[in-house]
């Protein structure tokens, strides 16, 4: 059995396998699944290891994946050009892992980016390309491309890919910014649902498919950052009711339902789904650091009071 497999064949198989896993499990994948990987020609190919820049043994030189660990809502950095910045392994620009990414940049070889959302939980983004190298700053610039690039890569001669001038930077900058926003939104949801143990803070519904991470202060406003203490795990019904000011949550974590809603008579859903919440305390995360910010709740509750008859 040869020590190495064909590089392009391994990458295309990895992309195909990842799509199958996302279709089956959703876009957040476990480290165990990624570590087990897939089998090609009787050889198991993992997609993640302890190294952030990872080349499985079946590949000769160029890494297959780069990964980040969860450190907060903005654990990746963005260059002025709108590209993701990825740090070198260590401080030696010629370390074999850095050299492997540099070769990927020269040959325009697509990689997989594994964005750590929670310990052991990743969002996979592919294809990504190394498009810049800054040895003085010990980091690479990385851009996300569309899946059309995979077809181009699969059909092209490697020498043609190496020799072709990259005229797609603007498009890649746009795709990268869209994907980066999606990573942050998805990361916010996963962290909030994890804090509330996968249940609605108001009704305790435990089906993640029916749960959202609601912002206390809306995204884009001062104080609206995607951090856990600006979030509440709410089911679809209660998220909509919270957003439309049918109900509010006081800074002492007690639910207040709008007076006109309390006076309505519209069947059991209204009675049990909304009216019955009035005066209840919400479910809180176990960790005090992950509980909703009293200051943000105060701002939001003031808006609730001005929005309707309470």
DSSP 67-118: EE---STT-SEE-TTS-EEEE-SSS-TTSHHHHHHHHHHHHT--EEEEEEEE
Return the pLDDT at 141.
94
| Cβ contact 82:64 at 8 Å | no
Asked if residue 154 is part of any domain, the answer here is: yes
173 plus 32 within the same structural domain: yes
Here the tokens at position 189 are 């949801």
Asked if residue 84 is part of any domain, the answer here is: yes
Which of residues 191, 224, 241 is at a domain's end? 191
211 plus 303 within the same structural domain: yes
165 plus 71 within the same structural domain: yes
| Cβ contact 10:40 at 8 Å | yes
Return the pLDDT at 1.
55
Return the pLDDT at 81.
76
Asked if residue 183 is part of any domain, the answer here is: yes
Gap between the Cα atoms of 104 and 188, Å rounded: 31
Gap between the Cα atoms of 44 and 66, Å rounded: 19
Is this structure's pTM higher than 0.95? no
132 plus 258 within the same structural domain: no
157 plus 205 within the same structural domain: no
208 plus 170 within the same structural domain: no
45 plus 185 within the same structural domain: yes
Residues spanned by the domain of 282? 198-307
Return the pLDDT at 181.
84
74 plus 138 within the same structural domain: yes
pLDDT tens string, the chain, 310 residues long: the values are 568 899 999 999 999 999 999 999 988 999 999 999 999 999 999 999 988 999 999 999 999 999 998 764 334 576 777 789 999 999 999 999 999 999 999 999 999 999 998 899 999 999 999 999 999 999 999 999 999 999 989 887 654 444 444 567 788 888 888 888 888 888 999 999 999 999 999 999 999 999 999 999 998 899 999 999 999 999 999 999 999 999 999 999 999 999 999 998 877 888 889 999 999 999 999 999 999 999 999 999 999 999 875 4
Gap between the Cα atoms of 237 and 247, Å rounded: 11
Q: Where do runs of H (alpha helix) occur along the chain?
A: 7-25, 31-36, 96-107, 148-155, 158-163, 169-195, 236-243, 259-262, 268-273, 294-307
Which of residues 140, 162, 191 is at a domain's end? 191
CATH number of domain containing 151: 2.30.280
Which of residues 191, 207, 224 is at a domain's end? 191
183 plus 212 within the same structural domain: no
Asked if residue 2 is part of any domain, the answer here is: no
Return the pLDDT at 75.
45
CB atoms < 10 A from the CB of 286, how many?
A: 9
């Amino acid at each position: 059995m040869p020590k190495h497999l064909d590089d392009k064949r391994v990458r295309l198989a990895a992309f195909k396998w990842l799509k199958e896993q996302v279709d089956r499990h959703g876009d957040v994948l476990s480290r165990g699944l990624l570590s087990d990987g897939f089998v090609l020609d009787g050889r198991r190919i993992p997609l993640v290891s302890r190294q952030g820049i990872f080349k499985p043994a079946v590949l000769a030189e160029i890494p297959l994946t780069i990964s980040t660990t969860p450190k907060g809502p903005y654990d990746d950095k963005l260059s002025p050009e709108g590209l993701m910045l990825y740090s070198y392994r260590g401080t030696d620009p010629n370390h074999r892992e850095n050299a492997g990414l540099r070769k990927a940049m020269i040959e325009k070889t697509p990689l997989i980016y594994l964005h750590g959302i929670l310990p052991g939980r990743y969002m996979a983004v592919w294809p990504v390309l190394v498009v810049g190298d800054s040895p003085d700053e010990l980091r690479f610039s990385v851009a996300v491309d569309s899946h059309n690039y995979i077809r181009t890569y699969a059909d092209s001669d490697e020498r043609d890919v190496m020799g072709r001038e990259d005229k797609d930077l603007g498009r890649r900058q746009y795709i990268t910014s869209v994907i980066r926003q999606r990573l942050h939104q998805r990361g916010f949801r996963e962290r909030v649902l994890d804090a509330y143990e996968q249940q609605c803070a108001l009704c305790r519904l435990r089906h993640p498919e029916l749960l959202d991470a609601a912002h206390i202060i809306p995204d884009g406003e001062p104080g609206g950052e995607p951090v856990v203490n600006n979030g509440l795990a709410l089911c679809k019904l209660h998220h909509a009711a919270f957003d439309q000011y049918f109900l509010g949550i006081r800074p002492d974590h007690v639910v207040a339902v709008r007076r006109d809603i309390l006076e309505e008579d519209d069947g059991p859903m209204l009675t049990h789904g909304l009216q019955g919440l009035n005066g209840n305390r919400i479910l809180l995360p176990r960790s005090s650091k992950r509980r909703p910010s009293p200051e943000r709740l105060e701002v939001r509750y003031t808006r609730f009071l001005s929005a309707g008859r309470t």
